[in-house]
Structure 1
């Protein structure tokens, strides 16, 4: 793609009142964007409304600066810069799994799969487009080996631990984990996938579908995580550079998370969670939804329980998902799963199974209830709880509650 062609696509995407659906009608009628803008008003009105036709005749004021910024970003090959690519609708590189969706994006911005000038990156010489072109190809190659993981932005400690452990197991089995870079379950899933990804593996550890331009990281707390994803995975956006974290963008990007995956695992979600949107879109695309059950007392588990009632596969271990997807974890592209791997049994007891751990169970519990269950005096109980907290076996929750953490 040369600069003029990029300018045409950006102009089409920026034209007010022209969304993806109208843009596709125009492309079907007239071909590339450059041909669209050369059409007489009467011809445009055959494809879109009069208001849209008039808008297409005027160049957006923000086009020139955005084109300059985007062209510079696309061709940045400085040492340590992540690889980048822009794929437009109709390109041979456009991921086939997204083309089959009801609303495929007009443009895809891709960042990652290694850094220029690093040992894992591509050669220093050659045109930028030639060396970055394979990012989209890598996404397409992983289409049948990708799993979406989504969930609450405010998970319980156990939910976050589950997300990280499951994602690590999936990465070790050769799956690419797709999520949204949000706080909570998304971040834990990306972290787990990176944990389980072999450093010498050519496969993508994880794909982060974001709701901003790729020149921004949201939330800011995930800046370092985004940098690591760029090294061993891909960040993807349908939004132009400079796009801020607008609320409406995040539910919309969920269709891409579902579209890039063979199925979706909901780790933990309340009844009004955006994760349920991803689950619905997954079903609409004819793919499998998985859900991890939780405590009947936790509001963060009710969304998963609702999905299970509607037919989602109840998941208790990473193996449940791998078997449903007909994948043999021992054939993973990273390394064979060993008996002592972190994903052997996510429900296995951790550490010494003390009377206090047994008394804790797996639901949040108060100090008074623990005293009644264990018969320990207050001083001894608090001392043992502190020890278990330091060992990472118990976490303290708001409201004076305690909860046991399951670690594989």
Structure 2
């Protein structure tokens, strides 16, 4: 199928129409890639779902993220501080392990997952609007981070505004791109449960974070666990389902770690060599030590745990 034919089906216009030609020109001007199912960049996992998008609009510096191992992190827009902290923890741990984080760029859990993933790895934002629309508008910075450290994708024509049906429809793409779906927080009628259900129908692994029985945003996740979703508290809980033994066996790319490959260093030595403040170095070392990636030797200098 030619691009014009695919767009004619999406736009409901003849292949040689002005609307189809203009759509292609606008995408070229905005740096948007149009990826058909025949394209080798089209994710095989997405192509295998019951109703795959005929065409993907993709925008970002790392469109190749679409072909990598991915896990979705989704949850409530009205996330609690607990939910935000858990989403940040899981997203950071998985990203450091080389996993691409997929989510829907909504308020709450989605945005936290994208922001953390953009610090340590790659992330994919699936939109319920045209790819040229920033919605919600307050998330412009998050959108930019996703494009810098991954890509945005949408199946909707340019200019498509959000409606009550576009977001549930995009959820099947989140599920299709991901090998597993983590629901961090969700009310009893949360849209995140739609994503989990769609993922289950496509044979994806479903994970849920336990929460307080008194919290409305934990009702959905508790019900998922009751119905067979794996209870998850760390990235290792997720990765072991796919044959990974330990998150700690994955060493992230980091200038501090590159420096430590030459031998143990004190925080002061690292600060001087990399031009970082001592507070920045100590903060990073604390995180790396908690993750089991570095430790102190008998001289109190930091070394890699290989």
Calculate the TM-score normalised by the size of structure 1: 0.60
- Is this contact kept in 2: 1:151–1:185, CA < 8 A? yes
Distance 1:6 1:287, change over 3 A: closer
- Choose the corresponding residue for 1:74, options 27, 44, 50: 27
Alignment of 1:279 with 2:196, yes or no, is yes
Query: Which residue of 2 is the match for residue 384 of structure 1?
Result: none
The SS at the match of 1:113 is coil
- Is this contact kept in 2: 1:151–1:267, CA < 8 A? yes
- Is this contact kept in 2: 1:10–1:67, CA < 8 A? no
Query: Which residue of 2 is the match for residue 355 of structure 1?
Result: none
Q: How far is 1:333 from its partner?
A: 6.3
Q: How far is 1:166 from its partner?
A: 1.3
Alignment of 1:110 with 2:52, yes or no, is no
Q: Distance in 2 between matches of 1:189 and 1:173?
A: 15
Distance 1:262 1:339, change over 3 A: farther
Distance 1:331 1:72, change over 3 A: farther
- Is this contact kept in 2: 1:173–1:335, CA < 8 A? no
Alignment of 1:101 with 2:49, yes or no, is yes
- Choose the corresponding residue for 1:189, options 90, 109, 113: 113
The SS at the match of 2:101 is strand
Distance 1:193 1:280, change over 3 A: same
Q: Distance in 1 between matches of 2:156 and 2:240?
A: 36
How far does the alpha carbon of each residue in 1:336-364 deviate from its partner, in whole angstroms, 9 at most, with x for none? 9998427948xxxxxxxxxxxxxxxxxxx
Query: Which residue of 2 is the match for residue 330 of structure 1?
Result: 248
How far does the alpha carbon of each residue in 1:375-394 deviate from its partner, in whole angstroms, 9 at most, with x for none? xxxxxxxxxxxxxxxxxxxx
Alignment of 1:13 with 2:10, yes or no, is yes
Query: Which residue of 1 is the match for residue 88 of structure 2?
Result: 164
Compare CA radii of gyration and give the structure with the larger one: 1
How far does the alpha carbon of each residue in 1:102-130 deviate from its partner, in whole angstroms, 9 at most, with x for none? 0011110000025xxxxxxxxxxxxxxxx
Q: Aligned pair count?
A: 262
- Is this contact kept in 2: 1:318–1:343, CA < 8 A? no
- Is this contact kept in 1: 2:65–2:150, CA < 8 A? no
Matches within 5 A, 1:356-367: none
Distance 1:250 1:312, change over 3 A: same
Matches within 5 A, 1:292-311: 292-311=209-228
- Is this contact kept in 2: 1:289–1:312, CA < 8 A? yes
- Is this contact kept in 2: 1:6–1:67, CA < 8 A? no
Matches within 5 A, 1:108-187: 108-113=56-61, 135=63, 137-140=64-67, 142=68, 145-187=69-111
Q: Distance in 1 between matches of 2:139 and 2:108?
A: 11
Unmatched 5+ stretches in structure 1: 16-57, 115-134, 198-204, 346-408
Distance 1:60 1:95, change over 3 A: closer
Q: Distance in 1 between matches of 2:78 and 2:243?
A: 32
Q: Distance in 2 between matches of 1:342 and 1:306?
A: 34
Alignment of 1:341 with 2:287, yes or no, is yes
Q: Distance in 1 between matches of 2:77 and 2:65?
A: 29
- Is this contact kept in 2: 1:66–1:241, CA < 8 A? no
Unmatched 5+ stretches in structure 2: 258-283, 292-306
Calculate the TM-score normalised by the size of structure 2: 0.78
